Amino acid sequence: MQYVFDFTEGSKDQRDLLGGKGANLAEMTSLGLPVPPGFTISTEACRSYLATGREPDGLADEIERHLSGLESGMGKRLGDATDPLLVSVRSGAKFSMPGMMDTVLNVGLTDLSVAGLAAVAGDQRFAWDSYRRLVQMFGKTVLGVDGERFDHALETRKKDRGVDSDVDLTVDDLRDLVAEFKEIVRGESGTNFPQDPRTQLDLAVRAVFESWNTDRARIYRRQERIPDDLGTAVNIVAMVFGNLGPDSGTGVAFTRDPATGEQGVYGDYLPNAQGEDVVAGIRNTLALAELERLDKASYDQLLDIMETLEKHYLDLCDIEFTIERGKLWMLQTRVGKRTAAAAFRIAGQLVDEGLIDEDEALSRVTGAQLAQLMFPQFDPAASRTSIARGMAASPGAAVGKAAFDSATAVEWAQRGDDVILVRRETNPDDLRGMVASRGVLTSRGGKTSHAAVVARGMGRTCVVGVEALRVDPRARAFTTPDGARVTEGDVISIDGGTGEVFLGALPVVPSAVVDALYGRAAAPPSASSGPESEAEAEGESSDVVRREVVSAVLRLMRHADVRRRMEVRANADTGEDARRARDLGAAGIGLCRTEHMFLGARRKIVEHVILARTPEQRDAGLDELRPLQRADFTEILEAMDGQPVTIRLLDPPLHEFLPDLTDLSVRVAVGEATGSPDAEAAALLAEVQRLHEQNPMLGMRGVRLGLVVPGLFELQVRAIAEAAASLLARGLDPQPQIMVPLVAAVQELEAIRDMAEATVAEVAAETGTALRFPIGTMIELPRAAMTAHAIAEAAEFFSFGTNDLTQTTWGFSRDDVEATFFPAYLERGIFGVSPFESIDADGVGRLVSIAAWEGKETRQDLELGVCGEHGGDPDSIHFFESIKLDYVSCSPFRVPVARLEAGRAALVTEGSDSR
Amino acid sequence: MQYVFDFTEGSKDQRDLLGGKGANLAEMTSLGLPVPPGFTISTEACRSYLATGREPDGLADEIERHLSGLESGMGKRLGDATDPLLVSVRSGAKFSMPGMMDTVLNVGLTDLSVAGLAAVAGDQRFAWDSYRRLVQMFGKTVLGVDGERFDHALETRKKDRGVDSDVDLTVDDLRDLVAEFKEIVRGESGTNFPQDPRTQLDLAVRAVFESWNTDRARIYRRQERIPDDLGTAVNIVAMVFGNLGPDSGTGVAFTRDPATGEQGVYGDYLPNAQGEDVVAGIRNTLALAELERLDKASYDQLLDIMETLEKHYLDLCDIEFTIERGKLWMLQTRVGKRTAAAAFRIAGQLVDEGLIDEDEALSRVTGAQLAQLMFPQFDPAASRTSIARGMAASPGAAVGKAAFDSATAVEWAQRGDDVILVRRETNPDDLRGMVASRGVLTSRGGKTSHAAVVARGMGRTCVVGVEALRVDPRARAFTTPDGARVTEGDVISIDGGTGEVFLGALPVVPSAVVDALYGRAAAPPSASSGPESEAEAEGESSDVVRREVVSAVLRLMRHADVRRRMEVRANADTGEDARRARDLGAAGIGLCRTEHMFLGARRKIVEHVILARTPEQRDAGLDELRPLQRADFTEILEAMDGQPVTIRLLDPPLHEFLPDLTDLSVRVAVGEATGSPDAEAAALLAEVQRLHEQNPMLGMRGVRLGLVVPGLFELQVRAIAEAAASLLARGLDPQPQIMVPLVAAVQELEAIRDMAEATVAEVAAETGTALRFPIGTMIELPRAAMTAHAIAEAAEFFSFGTNDLTQTTWGFSRDDVEATFFPAYLERGIFGVSPFESIDADGVGRLVSIAAWEGKETRQDLELGVCGEHGGDPDSIHFFESIKLDYVSCSPFRVPVARLEAGRAALVTEGSDSR
């Protein structure tokens, strides 16, 4: 077993073994690029260490051998007293885990070698500052000393010296600090800072191994769904220094603009500095173009290298580099992150340039990116300055009056105002306020905070963790970093895509991508600002971006449609929604819920049905509903003419159509207590009590209602059949499918199917038309999944209701838990993502997969679809493709996302099929 | 494929092929007993007919061949004009389905052959009456004519003639009736009564086949869990007649007393009658012993046959026989039904007689029978006369004041009275009244009625469908068949084991079996009645029965304990319950619920914990609870010294410890409306609203609570550890196991396990004792079952919580559905039995089985048990044995039942293993 690999040995395809950083360093080395020499200790060694608690046999020897090679190649020895080799020890896992694991620089400096470094560099200050950094980093990272101790000592020294910046400390200051830091190390860790360079190296390697299993790393992995058993590689790289004078420096670069995708050179450069100084933001960086002026040779070389890398990686690369006394060194490269717009645009460009094909381009954009482009955005042509920035927790652009508590938010919303709820953090009491608001802004919390989780769940724009804002709920105001004060009622705007907060109302424009998907022309740029204004100039440029992004989106959507195996249908309950879904590319309605049709003005009729004392009264109510239902179905079947429309028979419990028990109890009791009893309300209360359930989600609903309330489902089936008959008479092609909800046992479905077939046959006879509709069922209970074999005998299709299936499989109801323990669970990494957002493949998904498989065993032509909200979620769509469902159905607005992801998923499965 | 089998060909082991009746007729034939000759058409023929809609090829020929054989054997031809052979065509499935399927007698009679029969029998009246019966039965059964039409014509005729009984009709009357009946047949069915005997036979066979699939037969099978695909056999038997004069007759007999198990001859005899007359109850039957006087030869022969049969079947047999002009014919035999007491006693007797071994004896008694013997009963020594009898729907002996509505029942119960709720039928509004009552009595409905289902669910004694009682809820009274009137407040007694209703308060005595199981001497017979009284005489005899039954029960319990593989533990929350369980043979506590420990006087402390505004306030409350919890656990661990006690950490949602939302809302609102606001109640209301959940069953409970409420589970674990440490210090051997409820993901369990291990280690260090407890989890959510592989990594045991698992797998909550749609579902046969009573093997059971299997794959020594109520249900216990769980846990009182059934289940599995 080989554990250590020289950079000359590996390649970019060995990320499993060498980690991302190591694999790319090896790749650049083999491309002949100027990479400092070094070697990589494999993830295999890390896994062995973590399993056994000690380094695997032979590892020490291998390191020794590679270190010797490195020393002879560099003509220096590690920690040599006269001309020391220094190395960095860097973590590097297969998947990027930014900031989660450890790195130690300047390994090899000791009380002896610091003098050698000073002599060779001709710079005492540089040498002692490097040693100071090593003791600090090593103490904190390897020996577990509280970093605050070092920071405090450094700050005290600067205060004593009356200076602001580290740069202004003298050599003596730094020498004293090194001594002080070593004291801290001894005091805190009970051990001396090691003066043997090889010991430094071994301890640093071990520390990197162990950093794989810190709590924060574990939680991060759970949240990002990175497996726990990968381990990290460790890269030992010869140090190069960007802080050796004005002919040195360090920078980052991108081969294309990661914000817009525009081709050209983008990046930042900081002369006379090390990478960590850039991160610390001590000085302002220069635009990369400035490097041409400072060091034309290095700049030209860098541009050559960037072209080489893009041609080689066939994608936008980001790069970290250092110039040491005029010599350029490449420290890292990888395929770079980019905005949603840039992702589409770059993919399109690369196809145009003949570098990749359309399959590859499709694999490089995601549904999540498309979704981001589909939200309304603040008008890019409008001038604006953000007052603060937090985390983008739930996308969209929201404008409204700041409200500092939920009661106010609800009150203002009820009188018609747009509201932004502003809180330090939210809790379950804020739920009503969040529902009433356009957007939610908090000064605390991360992406898994209550506000973030709940807002995403309900589709509200949300920005969290804007720590620069000081929110004072009692004063009903917040102050911005530059001292402005926003009080209750002031209008603010928040951008859920970027995390920015603005004062005043920014103009919101619809998404150009959505316009294009609907086949509409994009709105012309806003005409309000003069042609000479800066806004207009920016508008021009962003207009180009917009056009190119839209064109790339349309092109990749077309390709996704060519590739995808699954159909995409939509969940829609009205003709208007159905038309919108069809315009966005839906091939049918996968879920038409009928419960909304029982509300509004019809609620009174439904109340009559429920309160009926005799079968005649009840039938009279049902007869009144029938023409209304027929009109509902006619409208939606007409809108989807020629395409399937899956109509779900009534699902929720009856008492949902009656007033709330507690409200009504209070009304009746107060009336009686105050001498004005309300007999009608009291009678209604008796009925509400009779129908009350402890757990309505687990009560008499769905097919149970249909089996127990005479005539209810029959009314619906008859209305469907009559609607279809009338459309047929008009020469149209209605394709209703009748779907029975909440089936747990095949006997339930058989009973409803028999009734439905008889009713359809009656209508066929009455109208003289040939009517025959597929009858199927939701699979939304674990028992239905477990007995799918039997249920498929009576069902022509299964539609997986993964919302309800998630609720019963996990035993929690969405209403109750998203606002209570979900944030804690996400925080602890019990789930990486809410199972209501993305399907839980191990639990819920396993049930879906069993049911799909066993259903097909019974009935080969069983149609399989999914109509839960997971139908529009990218990861879930990939899962559904992997188990070969026939279609996904999602809300109309998610249809493009689902089309794109279904196409991408088909690529993946094709790929895996051909392996 | 042979479809038809002569009685000389088959045996009693061929019930699959020949049905129960056919197999036993063949067995008796081969024993040389006087069975009328005949043959059986196999269930295979029926299945083929039902699948294809027509008789299988060759069947007609086979019937013809066997019919010819029968004719030549009898020396008669079917329907012959001078000396006709008549046959009966009788259904007979593998499992008895009494009254569910069809039978036709006297096939072969026509306008011609009726004269022949009259001549041969020398009895015109007999012949025409037989023909009348055939036309009637054939018309109704084969041709689908409404039976009322014939009954009406017969009644009209009797009224016209001024006679009460059929017997008093003349030959002419009967001849006219035959003509009239044939007219009815033609009018109603559009076809003539067939005059070709073979056509009669073929149509009758086909009618029997088709009767397998009538609605009532299907529903019966679902309820009795008889598979739908067995089909029925058809027996063609030469007719013999018990109604040919005083030297003819018909009877039924038992080889032992099916009520008490007493050895001897029991039965009834009706001279000059056919079997259907006995059923119709037209004349009173004679005790079988009377036959000795009437026909000693036949009587002696019958006794010989009965002895033969018992020796051959090695069990109590019941027999149907007919004597035709002094010749005895055996028409049927089968192993006879018996009471619970008789079942145990007979099994014991047969072992004593050396006829069967103890394994066989054990297989012949059931847990349901044992449970029946364990209920308190009405004192058998007390004299009593039942006023009516209905269906025994839920066992026990209940005495109380009759209440005719639920409000009254609740009111009286609250003032301390015992109440019997009397209703025509119950509905969900009666729930509170049923809870408040000792027993429930209804005049309508069957074993699946609302009253029956709900009462069984809540363990209330219940008698339903006592149609002889006329219940008038408005008058608040019922009248008995003999005209007595019972008004509200009158005391009545109901026997849930027999369905009997009594006036006044019968004395209730504890079960002698229970006394014996506890090792207590049975109570002495009541001394109140004089030695000479009839009651005392009966008491003597019932005392013998009691003694013998008790001794048989103890013997078979011992044998079950020898045989069983599974342990039986008990669900108990207090030391008292634990001691009782141990006395009844429990080998540990499988479920100790801790929620009851948070109620009562402690509720106030719990309220403080929930309402705490600061961590300090909360911790203060928890500290107050700790010594109390420690005392709880000390008591139960002491009671179960040396045996495992599985303690479940707190399961229900916190708001269960607070007042009801609606009640409190009303109180607060009324207080405010009437000018006396209650600030404390208002504050409490705010908290109750905050904790309110739409679906508490699916809310923040179980492990979720433990992960979100700091210190709660830790308090419990610490109390357990401290209790164990203190008992160890006293030299005892406490064996707690810590069980985490409602786990859906292994991460939840890991977090609690880590906390628990740390806490136990702390207490071990503090007390200087070695403490180590198994930590495991409930498997009560489908997701836990689906991911058992992973969960077993962190669990030392799984305990299947099949109550909750049933709720989430089916998606219904017991509270909400047992009273609403369950009765309708049972009625429709959607389930044969409530899945809360007996485990649903296809759905819930499949999940349990997957989890057990995959858990063991991960951890070979994983302990597997079940602690839902199914742990005490016989069928469920057999299921758990089949998937090799280690133990079942049930309520203390069910422990003996579980022991018995676990032993029986082990026999079955051994049997199947050795096959």
Cα B380 from Cα B742, distance rounded (Å): 47
The answer to whether residues B288 and B253 touch, using CB atoms and an 8 Å cutoff, is yes
Active-site residue, from B655, B867, B870, B890? B867
Does the beta carbon of B687 lie under 8 angstroms from any beta carbon of chain A?
no
Q: Is the pLDDT of residue A97 over 90?
A: no
Q: For B353-399, where are the alpha helices, taking DSSP H only?
A: 358-363, 367-374
Q: Is the ipTM of this complex over 0.95?
A: no
pLDDT for the residue numbered A611: 83
Q: Please give the residue of chain B at the shortest CA–CA distance from A666.
A: B666
Q: Give pLDDT tens digits for B709-751.
A: 889 999 999 999 999 999 999 999 999 999 999 999 999 999 9
Q: How many CB pairs under 8 A join A and B?
A: 199
**Is the pLDDT reported for residue A330 higher than 70?**
yes
CB-based contact A25:A66 (threshold 8 Å): no
- Strand-pair category, B84-85 with A863-866: unpaired
Are A786 and B847 inside 8 Å of each other by CB? yes
Q: Are A372 and A344 in contact (CB under 8 A)?
A: no
Residue A219 backbone dihedrals phi, psi, to 5 degrees: -65, -40
* CA A390 – CA A396 distance, rounded (Å): 14
Residue A297, chain B, CB below 8 Å: the answer is: no
pLDDT confidence band for A32 (50 / 70 / 90): very high
Shortest distance, CA B71 to any CA of chain A (angstroms): 46
3-class secondary structure per residue, A390-418: CEEEECCEEEEEEECCHHHHHHHHHCCCC
The conformation of residue A34, written as its DSSP 8-state character, comes to -
Tokens of B82: 């001078």
pLDDT tens figures, A542-555: 778 889 999 999 99
Residues within 8 A of B (CB atoms), A 422-441 only: 428-429
User: Is A813 touching B (CB cutoff 8 A)?
Assistant: yes
Work out the mean pLDDT of chain B and round it to a whole number: 90
pLDDT tens, B567-587?
A: 999 999 999 999 999 999 999
Q: Rounded to the nearest 5 degrees, what angle is found at the Cα of B709, between the Cα atoms of B706 and B713?
A: 40
Partners of residue B809 in chain A, C-beta under 8 Å: 744, 781-783, 786, 808
Average pLDDT over residues B238-255: 93
Q: Which residues pair with A320 in a beta bridge?
A: A252, A332
CB contact under 8 Å between B697 and A694, yes or no, is: yes
* Residue B20 to residues B15, B98, B336, B480, Cα–Cα distance (Å): 5, 12, 12, 40
* A138 has a pLDDT exceeding 80: yes
For B:727-786, CB contacts with A below 8 A are: 742, 744-745, 747-748, 751, 780-783, 786
Annotate A736-773 with b (16+ C-beta within 10 A) or e (fewer): bbbbbbbbbbbbbbbbbbeebeebbeebbeebeeebeb
Residue A62: both structure tokens together: 């291998």
Report the alpha-carbon distance of residue A151 to residue A158 in Å, rounded. 11
- Give the CA dihedral A626, A628, A634, A639, nearest 10 degrees: -150
Tokens found for residue B813 = 């909550």
> Residues B615, B620, B621, CA angle at the centre, nearest 5°?
100
**Does the beta-carbon distance from B783 to A661 stay under 8 Å?**
no
Nearest beta carbon to residue B781 from set A665, A786, A811: A811
Q: For the purposes of burial, counting CB atoms within 10 Å of the CB of B159, is it exposed (0-12), middle (13-18) or buried (19 or more)?
A: exposed
The stretches of A383-525 forming alpha helices (DSSP H) are 406-414, 431-436, 450-458, 512-517
B669 and A666 within 8 Å at the Cβ level: the answer is yes
Residue B104, beta-bridge partner list? B89
**pLDDT for residue A347 is more than 60:** yes
What is residue A71's predicted lDDT score, i.e. its pLDDT?
96
Q: How many residues does chain A have?
A: 915
Three-state secondary structure call for residue A239: coil
| A4-238 matches A249-335 in fold | no
Which residue of chain B is at minimal alpha-carbon distance from A790?
B842
- The residue in chain A having the minimum alpha-carbon distance to the alpha carbon of residue B687 is A429
User: Which chain A residues touch B661 with a CB distance below 8 Å?
Assistant: 662
Of residues A662, A812, A817, nearest to B661 (C-beta): A662
Picking from B430, B786, B836 by the largest number of A CB atoms within 10 A of its own CB, the best residue to mutate is B786
Residue A280: per-residue pLDDT: 59
- Chain B residues touching A807 at Cβ < 8 A: 698
CATH superfamily, domain at B564-653+693-914: Phosphoenolpyruvate-binding domains (3.20.20.60)
CA distance B782 to B803: 12
Distance, in Å, from the CA atom of B21 to the CA atom of B319, rounded to the nearest integer, reads 11
DSSP B515-578: HHHTTPPPPPPP-SS-TTSHHHHHHHHHHHHHHHHHHHHHHHHHHHHHH--SEEEEE-SSHHHH
Tens of pLDDT, residue by residue over A142-187, are 999 998 999 999 999 999 999 887 778 999 999 999 999 999 999 9
- What are the sequence ranges of the domains in chain A? 4-238, 249-335, 369-559, 564-653+693-914
Paired tokens of B450: 């609302």
Residues of A designated catalytic: 450, 867
The structure tokens 């705010």 sit at B686
What CATH number labels A369-559? 3.50.30.10
CA distance A829 to chain B (A): 8
Residue contact A786–B824, C-beta within 8 A: no
State pLDDT tens for residues B207-225.
Answer: 999 999 988 888 778 767 7
Any B CB within 8 A of A825 CB:
yes
Question: Which chain B residues touch A780 with a CB distance below 8 Å?
Answer: 811
Phi and psi at residue A54, in whole multiples of 5°?
-145, 160
Q: Is pLDDT of B536 > 70?
A: no
Nearest residue of A to residue B848, measured between CA atoms: A786
pLDDT at A915 over 50: no
- pTM of the predicted model as reported, rounded to 2 decimal places: 0.86
State residue A279's pLDDT score. Answer: 60
B719 reaches A (C-beta below 8 A) = no
What is the Cα–Cα distance from A735 to A630, expressed in whole angstroms? 15
pLDDT of res. A536: 39
In angstroms, the separation between the Cα of residue A602 and the nearest Cα of chain B is: 25
- For residues B907 and B560, is the Cβ–Cβ distance under 8 A? no
Best residue of A219, A783, A825 to probe chain B, by most B CBs closer than 10 Å: A783
In the predicted structure, residue B178 carries a pLDDT above the cut 60:
yes
Architecture per CATH, domain B249-335, reads as 2-Layer Sandwich (3.30)
Closest residue to B787, CB basis, from A742, A807, A843: A843
The 10s digit of each residue's pLDDT in A691-731 is 888 898 999 899 999 998 889 999 999 999 999 999 999 99
For A529-577, the pLDDT digits (tens) are 444 444 334 444 677 888 999 999 999 999 999 999 999 999 999 999 9
Average pLDDT rounded to a whole number, residues A203-232? 87
3-class secondary-structure state, position A506: coil
CA dist B92 and B21 (Å) reads: 5
Phi then psi for B681, rounded to 5 degrees?
-65, -35
Q: Which of B708, B744, B824 sits opposite A811 (nearest CB)?
A: B744
CB contact under 8 A, A842 and B787: yes
For chain B, the residue count is 915
Single out the residue of A478, A477, A451 nearest to residue A467, CA to CA. A478
**How many helices and strands in chain A, by DSSP H and E?**
36, 33
Nearest CA in chain B to A670: B670
Q: Is B822 on the interface with A (CB under 8 A)?
A: no
Task: Point out the least confidently predicted range of A543-547, B19-23, B25-29, B828-832.
Answer: B828-832
Q: In whole angstroms, what is the distance from residue A701 CA to residue B780 CA?
A: 23
How does residue B445 score in pLDDT terms, banded at 50, 70 and 90?
confident
The values of phi and psi at residue B725, to 5°, are: -60, -45
> End-to-end distance of chain B based on CA atoms, in angstroms?
26
Structure tokens at B507: 């004395």
pLDDT > 70 in chain B, percent: 96
* CB-based contact A448:A823 (threshold 8 Å): yes
* Section B467-471 average pLDDT: 88
What mean pLDDT value characterizes chain A?
90
Q: What's the one-letter identity of residue B837? A: E
Nearest CA to A874 out of A839, A831, A847 is that of A839
Judge whether B789 is closer than 8 Å to chain A, CB to CB: no
Q: A4-238 architecture in CATH?
A: 2-Layer Sandwich (3.30)
Q: Determine whether the interchain pair A783/B428 forms a contact, defined as Cβ–Cβ distance below 8 Å.
A: no
Annotated binding site of A for substrate: 593, 648, 780, 801-804
Catalytic hit among B450, B559, B655, B878:
B450
Chain B residues closer than 8 Å to A748 by CB: 830
User: Do A629 and A715 meet the contact criterion of CB atoms below 8 Å apart?
Assistant: yes
Higher model confidence: residue B784 or residue B257? B784
- Which has the minimum average pLDDT: B389-393, B503-507, B528-532? B528-532
Higher-confidence position of B189 and A519? B189
Instruction: Search chain B and give the residue with CA nearest A844.
Output: B783
Chain B residues near residue A670 by CB distance under 8 angstroms? 669-670, 673
Give how far the C-alpha of residue B65 lies from the chain's centroid of Cα atoms, to the nearest Å: 44
* Chain B contact probe: residue of A229, A809, A814, A817 with most B CBs at under 10 A: A809
CB atoms within 10 A of CB B809: 30
Q: Is the pLDDT of residue A45 over 80?
A: yes
Q: What is the pLDDT of residues A358-377, one digit of tens each?
A: 999 999 999 989 998 999 88
Closest CA relative to residue B894, chosen from B685, B627, B676, B585: B585
- pLDDT over 50 (residue A914): no
Highest mean pLDDT among A222-236, A333-347, A607-621, A778-792: A778-792
Angle between helices A113-121 and A124-141 in degrees, nearest 10? 140
Q: Between A171-189 and A147-161, two packed helices, what is the crossing angle to 10 degrees?
A: 150
Q: Which residue is closest to A668 within chain B, CA to CA?
A: B666
CA dihedral over A429, A431, A432, A433, signed as positive or negative: positive
CB proximity B665 to A under 8 Å: yes
Asked if B811's CB is within 8 angstroms of A781's CB, the reply is: yes
Which residues in chain A have their CB less than 8 angstroms from residue B227's CB?
Answer: none
Dihedral sign from CA coordinates of A349, A352, A353, A355: positive
Which pLDDT band, with edges at 50, 70 and 90, does A521 fall under? low
Instruction: Please list every residue in chain A whose beta carbon sits closer than 8 Å to the beta carbon of residue B429.
Output: 690
List, as ranges, residues 634-663 from B with C-beta within 8 Å of A: 661-662
Q: Does position B42 have pLDDT exceeding 80, yes or no?
A: yes
Interface test with A, best of B655, B712, B810 (most A CBs within 10 A): B810
Give the closest residue to B647 by CA, choosing from B697, B712, B574, B587.
B574
* pLDDT at residue A911, as a whole number: 61
